[in-house]
Structure 1
Amino acid sequence: MEKRWAEHLTTDIDTVNKLAEELNIDEILAHMLVSRSVTTFSEAKEFFRPELSHLHDPFLMNGMTEAVDRIERAIANGESILIYGDYDVDGTTSVALVYLFFKKYTSHINYYIPDRYLEGYGVSTKGIDYAAENGYTLVIALDCGIKAVEKIEYAKSKGVDFIICDHHLPGDEIPQAVAVLDPKRKDCEYPYKELSGCGLGFKLTQAYSIRKNIEESEALQYLDLVVVSIASDIVPITGENRVLAYYGLQKLNTNPCNGLKALIELSGKTDFFTITDIVFSIGPRINAAGRIDDAKHAVKLLTANSTQLAEDAGFIINLKNAERKEFDTNITEQALQMIGNSPEMISRKSTVVYHQNWHKGVIGIVASRLTEKYYRPTVVLTESNGHVAGSARSVIGYDLYEALCACSDLLEQFGGHKYAAGLTMKPENVTKFSQRFEDVVASSITEDMLIQQIAVEKAIELKDITPKFFRILNQFAPFGPQNMTPIFMTRNVYSYGYGTVVGNNHLKMSIRQKDSIVFDCIAFGLGDYFEQINRGTPFDVCYTIEENVWKERRNIQLNIKGIKTY
């Protein structure tokens, strides 16, 4: 599929030039900083040198004092505390962190993860009943609860207090819990709004440590769990998240907890783990537990107090991940066949596919794969408990949530955001929904949105890529949302020598410009350009810059993301 290259243009040239001079860096790197809203010397210093001292005072968060007061009282009185969290990576890492931290200060503590299929997302009636029936008088809910207004009232009637730690957008009414920690509350003046659920759990333990004069290291030791949540929940790696991710990666790569160490070993990767490595290697394994079986397996892994227990739990998790992959592959193939065999579906501006026997736990992954293939808003539906449940994914620039709002009369419930959502409907509404969704998308999406985009940081010359440039570029890490690995564009390059096609249609080549050195390149999946780039005519490339290590030899390599020939 042909992709369009969209270059980010900075109009604030004066700020770029000033920053370049103050930092003694070239204009390209200064441009990158300004595009990331780093515009002053002090902001750049904080960006390049994250410090734990940059973390905000947790008591600036609305409700934090009340939360710590209630936990302090519960521990002092010997009350039983239940740590409750969602079944995804953010939820299970949150539960593991808060459970491990407070377990040191009370023996009356346990955790609870709702069943994805029997209870669904968030605070459940069944979970509240479990707490009440087993004598838990305080529940700390993590990564969920901000809209559980009626459930919290029900809990109060059962004598169960709740502390809610959530990072999702609140509704019009805030639940009447003992404390509701959510930086996105309109009445919360906490300086940073984009914490993950596990990040909020960390802030709670940080606040308790301050109150009780506990060594800071007692809370900081769980930053490996925090960075896994940051990466997997795709929150912006800016501000406080950047600090947490920076130190979390250090912990993950030097002294991870037993559970994460087991997952790292299962991944087979031996060098430095990055945010991207977490997203593609650690996150899916943790998620597989809740998708295929029971997310309590993930918490058991992450809280394992010995290498053997971690290895045993990791083995189970890995089996579930293999099972998840098989479901994912089979369902994706079936869905692609459905679309490929229907000229009407191929010609649509949206994709809606339904099969009553597809596994609910993987339809979100399948929706993402179909979106990658056809690049248009996509909904994958399956039957679940007498209803039809679905996961939806969108393309850059198109508001999926608004499209679902236009179909709301056909839905039982739905929720999510611009690019991803979940929904349920009655079986008899599937055909009507499919047509309505197509009509809405077709009338509101633009042709540009239907062409996959490569976001180009800046057009540069190959001669700009110097050792100093590459060294400073690496200091932009950790990369992730709102600080993505930069993709550069260079025009009029020539193949040097003769390229080759290796593996599964991958192109290996070397390129240069008139006044540049030669750069080795790898272009995954772009082997079809072999004949064109070897004609001796110029072409354009977009790429990331990376270090290639081969037999202890290190050199700068360009990872080609796109080629345009003339």
Structure 2
Amino acid sequence: MLHPKYHWESLQTDEDKARLLSDQLNISPLVASLLITRGIRDLDEGKRFLYGTLADLHDPLLMSGMKEAVERIRAAVENGERILIYGDYDADGVSSTALMIHLMTRLGANFDYYIPHRSKEGYGLHIHALEQFYESGFTLVVTVDTGISAVEQVAYANSVGMDVIVTDHHEPPSKLPEAFALINPKLPYCSYPFKGLAGVGVAYKLAQALLGGDTPMEWTELVALGTVADLMPLVEENRLIVTYGLKSMGHSAFPGLTALLSVAGSIKEQVSSTNVAFGLAPRINASGRMSHANRAVELLTTSSAQDAELIANELDILNKERQLLVENIVEEALLQLAAKEAAGHLPDVIVVAGEGWNVGVVGIVASKILERYYRPTIVLGIHPESGECKGSARSIPGFDIYEALTHCADLLDHYGGHPAAAGMSLPKDHLVNFEQRLGEYATDILRPEHFVPTMLTDIECSLEEVTLPVIEQLEELAPFGMGNTYPRLLIRGVKLLECRQMGKEGKHLKLNVSHNGTSIEAVAFGKGELAPLLANESVIDLVAEAGINEWNGSRKPQLLIQDLSISHIQVFDYRGARYPIVKLEELVDKLLHLPSYELRTMATVLSDEVDGLNTSDLKNTPLWVYDNDAGVNPGNEIAVVEGADAVKTLFVLQLPESSHMWNRMMERFGSLERVFLLHPMRKDHEKVQSPSREQFKQVYAVLRQQGYNPIAQEELIVTLVGRTGLSRRMLELTLEVFEELDFVTRTSGTIILNESPSKQPLETSSRYRELGLLAEMEQMLLHGRIPQITEWMHNQMQGQGA
């Protein structure tokens, strides 16, 4: 067995609507079904989803505050006022700032921009910055991707005669700043139809409102960058703008994006949302995390290809430094959590803090810890001198981290964000109380089911349906991202033909799976550690994305596995290994490196002492010894302590001498999920065959020829081997049957044939019946193919359950 990492939930589709949509749009039923699961209800919505244009965008003047903002900016431009663009340091804020710079340049405005330093100043509007620009004669401030919670800062600006136009997309607090205009589709009184815009999306709507049809199409590239980077849902307006932005990036008008695509290793003509999310966004973010975001703004606003190449390489280096820094902080954070676990408690909301941790990367660290523990996570960097703690939070579905922070607002100096991610600052002295309050709040919100990650599957299909034409049609649903993920296919009952690790240190898996004659290669990135748990010819259920593998002009389907499970007991074939103890140690070591695998869940079974066992590491492994009555008994102290119920993984070093022992063992280890066969193969003189009447007649005939005088058993067996061709062990067991039926008498190593035996059918002998079962067991475990053995064991366990 192999348990999936996620709980799988299938999206429901309406087959009748899907068939209708398939006919109306002339698309495959599979794509039509996927549209239905994405909320497309009719033909018009389907057309907009697949074939929408920028003309389908909503009128920006529908957004509350937009009209006032447009009038104020135009007046400022006409009057030559100095305008300040105030942005944020993440990729969305950088994109927003760059777009606003291009807008102000196009309007001919007198402007400058400001982005606070992430670690020195932190998020949001700062009065000291406003003071600086007020003294320099600035009279209008336009925020991008920030400002919706800046009550005090806007009040200061108002007091000195500076007007503030806030454009933002973050969750509005209960008390709003008294700005000249507030533009945020999430404002409760704003009737704008789409609420999911990124900060750069709101800035783009302002540009549309000011320029109308003259808004350059290439600006959608900046919107695409910020929208994807900020994990905004790629639906409705976002989907339209990002689609056009990605197409435009293929022949970008921005030297900075061209240079950045190059250092990220992306193919310029085939830019996807994945390239943006994992290639461009991390490098843009690295500027603000490791240095100052101004450098990223310069990249997106320069007209010089030479300057762009220089800056792009700088950001690439910063990103590599960022990756190393993240790894170091994650290690320190995990040590803190290990100490909490050792103390017996892992909190529902994880809070870790470290002195000197770079606050520019704590959000990434929080994401990595959440992925490992699947709990809401807050990571804070503590300033070594001031004691101020600045951090980031990442959360799980069902737990609104912004609301949780609001519950602790009296402990915080500042906070803001979304239900899934947020930022905050607080004094070091409040840390203990902060963690306690979050835990108390979580107790009323979180239930056991919240801690099991869920993976949504779009549609269940067979392996045969995953063809090149179907995969090409799936691409029609792009761009993929939040709210419009790449279709996840649930495929059940495929057979594993081959499994091998690949990549550096074997971190990834490459599988070959088949069903009804169709075979497809599958890749599972980051799952290389599962290789010891995947037995060839296992039957697998998997959740996968379908892609196309192109190599040397050949194109063929390929699955990208997201999760997989095996519902039956698995059997791993190491029969006849030359050094079984060494192989056993190797397997145990691999399993112990996997999450949730402990020595207590493993057992090694044998019939007697094995050479080398006392000197091996297995002295710390639960050992069990075959027993005629109980099946198996504990063979060492750890087996006594842990018991049989804990055993999920069984290593068979030797076979038992009877099927009864095997059956009782399987019954006792009722929670088995996998069995590793490491026993030696039987030699010819130990071979047991399924007994037949003809074999017994042949043996009895030889006995009659020997007469009724005592004969040494060893001499008799040598004669019988030569005359019957049966193995020595088979003959010994046959003589035991004859003895039970009173055909012979055995005393002191001699055998005497009884002259007047009682006439009893062979089938009445318990040893005859056991011999048949023993032959069946050994034939299966010694010579059976793994699928046969797997089914045999499965049936045994099912019979016990019945």
TM bin, normalised by shorter chain, reads over 0.9
1:340/1:346 contact within 8 Å kept: no
Deviation larger for 285-294 or 437-446: 437-446
Larger relative contact order, structure 1 or 2 (CA cutoff 8 Å, min sep 6): 1
Once residues 291 and 529 of structure 2 are traced to their aligned partners in structure 1, the CA distance between those partners, rounded to angstroms, is 42
AA at the equivalent of 2:223: V
Q: Cα distance, 1:366 vs. partner?
A: 0.7
* Change beyond 3 A, Cα 1:529–1:370: closer
Match for residue 485 of structure 1?
486
Aligned to 1:377: 376
Question: Secondary structure at 1:355's aligned position in 2?
Answer: strand
Superposition pairs for residues 31-180 of structure 1, below 5 Å?
31-106=33-108, 108-180=110-182
Deviations 1:344-400 (Å, cap 9, x if unpaired)?
Answer: 366443422221221111111111111111221212122134322232222233333
**Is the partner of 2:299 in helix, strand or coil?**
helix
1: CA distance between counterparts of 2:281 and 2:66? 29
Equivalent AA in structure 2 for residue 145 of structure 1: G
Residue correspondence of structure 1 range 315-334 to structure 2 within 5 A? 315-334=313-332
How far apart are residue 307 of structure 1 and its match?
Answer: 0.8
Inter-partner Cα distance in structure 1 for 2:537 and 2:315: 51
Change (3 A) 1:177 1:523: same
Aligned with residue 279 of structure 1, among 277, 280, 287: 277
Residue 446 of structure 2 aligns with an amino acid whose one-letter code is I
Aligned sequence identity (%): 36
CA 1:121–1:465: 2 relative to 1, 3 Å: same
Letter in 2 for 1:87: Y
Q: What is the distance in 2 between the residues matched to 1:558 and 1:82?
A: 50
Distance in 2, Cα, partners of 1:484 & 1:247: 18
- 542-551 vs 415-424, which deviates more? 415-424
Letter of the structure 1 residue corresponding to residue 262 of structure 2: E
Q: Secondary structure at the match of 1:360?
A: coil
For the pair 1:557 / 2:581, whether they are aligned, the reply is no
Secondary structure (helix, strand or coil) at the match of 2:518 reads coil
Is residue 2:333 matched to residue 1:308? no
Q: In the TM superposition, what whole-angstrom CA distance separates every residue of 1:503-522 from its partner, at most 9, and x where no partner exists?
A: 223221222211x5221111
| Mapped pair 1:241 → 2:243 | no
TM-score, normalized by length of structure 1? Answer: 0.92
The question of whether the paired residues in 1 share the 8 Å contact of 2:11 and 2:457 is answered with no
> Bigger CA drift: 522-531 or 51-60?
522-531
Counterpart contact for 2:467–2:557, Cα < 8 Å? no
Q: CA deviation at 1:304?
A: 1.0
**Within 2, Cα distance between the matches of 1:180 and 1:408?**
23
CA distance in 2, matches of 1:187, 1:407: 26
Give the number of the structure whose alpha-carbon radius of gyration is greater. Answer: 2
Contact 1:545 1:559 in 2 (8 A): yes
Aligned length: 559
Q: Which string of whole-angstrom CA distances, capped at 9 and with x for unpartnered residues, describes residues 85-118 of structure 1? A: 1111111111111112221332622211122234
Q: Deviations over 1:12-63 (max 9, x none)?
A: 4543343234334454333321221111111111111121211222222222
Task: Indicate if the aligned counterparts of 1:345 and 1:351 stay in contact, CA closer than 8 A.
Answer: no
Deviation at 1:434, TM superposition (A): 2.9
What secondary structure, in the 3-state scheme, does the structure 2 residue paired with 1:171 have? Answer: coil
Unaligned runs of 5+ in 1: none
In structure 2, what is the equivalent of residue 192 of structure 1?
A: 194
Cα gap change, 1:128 to 1:480, in 2 (>3 Å): same
C-alpha contact 1:2 1:451 (8 A) present in aligned 2: no
- Superposed CA deviations along residues 501-545 of structure 1, whole A, max 9, x for unmatched, are 22223221222211x522111122334554665532322111000
Q: How does 1:213-362 map to 2 (within 5 A)?
A: 216=214, 218-270=215-267, 272-342=270-340, 343-344=342-343, 347-362=346-361
* Partner AA of 1:184 in structure 2: K
Query: Amino acid of the residue matched to residue 376 of structure 2?
Result: P
Contact 1:350 1:442 in 2 (8 A): no
Q: Give the Cα–Cα distance (whole angstroms) in 2 for the partners of residues 129 and 345 of structure 1.
A: 51
User: What is the alpha-carbon distance in structure 2 between the residues aligned to residue 399 and residue 412 of structure 1?
Assistant: 19
- Per-residue Cα deviation, 1:224-253 (whole angstroms, up to 9, x for no partner): 111000101111111111110000001112
The 10-residue stretch of structure 1 (173-182 or 250-259) with the greater mean CA deviation from structure 2? 173-182
Closer/same/farther in 2, CA of residues 24 and 76 from structure 1, 3 Å limit:
closer
For the residue of structure 1 that corresponds to 2:102, the secondary structure is: helix
Match of residue 455 from structure 1: 456
Q: 1:23 is matched with which residue?
A: 25
Corresponding residue number in structure 1 for 2:690: none
Counterpart in 1 of 2:511?
A: 509
State the 1:11 CA deviation: 6.0
Structure 1 residue aligned with 2:711: none
Give the distance between the partners of 1:513 and 1:2, measured in 2 at CA. Answer: 20
Further displaced range: 536-545 or 464-473? 464-473
| 1:294 counterpart letter in structure 2 | H
* Contact 1:7 1:459 (C-alpha < 8 Å) held by counterparts: no
Deviation per CA, 1:145-204: give whole Å up to 9, x if none: 222233223212222222221112323444333322222223322222211111121122
Distance 2:425 2:134 in 1: 30
Structure 1 residues 423 and 531: alpha-carbon distance in aligned structure 2, compared to 1, 3 A threshold: closer
TM-score, length-normalised on structure 2?
Answer: 0.66
Measure, in 1, the Cα distance between the counterparts of 2:428 and 2:358: 16
The answer to whether the 8 Å contact 1:494/1:533 transfers is: no
Structure 1 residues 171 and 433, CA gap change in structure 2 (3 angstroms): closer
**C-alpha distance in 1, partners of 2:229/2:532?**
39
Once the 2 structures are TM-superposed, how far is the Cα of residue 479 of structure 1 from its aligned partner? 0.6
What is the SS of the residue equivalent to 2:361?
helix
Instruction: Provide the aligned C-alpha RMSD in A.
Output: 2.3
Query: Which AA in structure 2 matches 1:128?
Result: L
**SS class of match (2:70):** helix
Deviation at 1:493, TM superposition (A): 0.5
Greater Cα offset, 304-313 or 440-449: 440-449
Which residue type is aligned with residue 371 of structure 1? Answer: L
CA contact (8 A) 1:113 1:296 kept: yes
Q: Is the 8 A contact 1:119 1:126 kept in 2?
A: no
Partner Cα separation in structure 1 for residue 536 and residue 78 of structure 2: 78
Q: Which moved more, 1:153-162 or 1:93-102?
A: 153-162
Tell me the SS of whatever aligns to 2:419.
coil
